[in-house]
A = this chain, B = another copy of it.
Amino acid sequence: MVNKIHHSSNCADCNCKASIFKNLTPLELELINSSRFQVSYKAGEIIFKQGTPSPYFVCVTSGLAKIYIEGYGKNLILSLIKPVDYIFGPGIYVDNRHYYSAAAVEDCSACLVDVSIFKNLIRQNPDFAEEFIKRVSLQSIFNFEQVISLTQKQMHGRIADVIFYLSDKIYCQNPFEMTISRQDLADLSGMSKESAIRILKEFKEEGILTIHGNTMEVLNTKQLRQISETG
């Protein structure tokens, strides 16, 4: 699962520090730097499993990962994680367990930081603490929108939402290469793989988008937005 562990370059040079770590002093950043591990995962490999102890804060530095809840027979993907984003579960302040699993969708590299160091920094640096709480809050807001999409929209609306998520938040370009599988698409939108495929087909037939190989292009954003909003 873990292919290679080594200390590479330095947190101070890493673009990760631009975001959540921006409020840390050089000394604090060095503390994180000195205790961190860099790890690579191949596509499909599991980063951690729901239910296991959670000693690390994970920072994804390249590739694409997914976090997902293993439910009753099927999975629900909560979100995709791209560089530079973080995987920290709610368990770290509760019982140190993971409440969801994480796996690499594309080949990934990530930095693992010891949770206790992380928690100490939250205690000693209020700006960092606020930034952390803000991140948690944003995650929470995202989850709310997702729940409403999943529970109150029907399949067409849900797929539309996922397509917007992919093009606007994950791949950030319009003709984009889908590196996730159809099953992942289904797990993101809470339906069966077959249903997801059928909806994509309909969208193609209606000229809303094209798919060639793994490349998807949204042609009619307006209509897709309409579908998203009318459920």
Contacts and interface: CB of A to CB of B under 8 A. Distances in A.
Nearest to A143: B143
A207 interface: no
Contacts of A133: 93, 122, 132-133, 136
A47 B140 CA distance: 21
Nearest to A132: B133
What interface size band does chain A fall in?
35 or more
Interface in A104-145: 119, 122-124, 126, 129-130, 132-134, 136-141, 143-144
Given A144-B100, A148-B71, A190-B151, A138 B90 contact: yes
A150 B150 contact: yes
B231 A72 contact: yes
A71 B152 contact: yes
Contacts of A190: 151-152
B147 A143 contact: yes
A93 B146 CA distance: 20
8 closest pairs, A vs B, by CB?
A90-B137, A123-B126, A90-B140, A71-B152, A71-B148, A93-B134, A93-B137, A151-B190
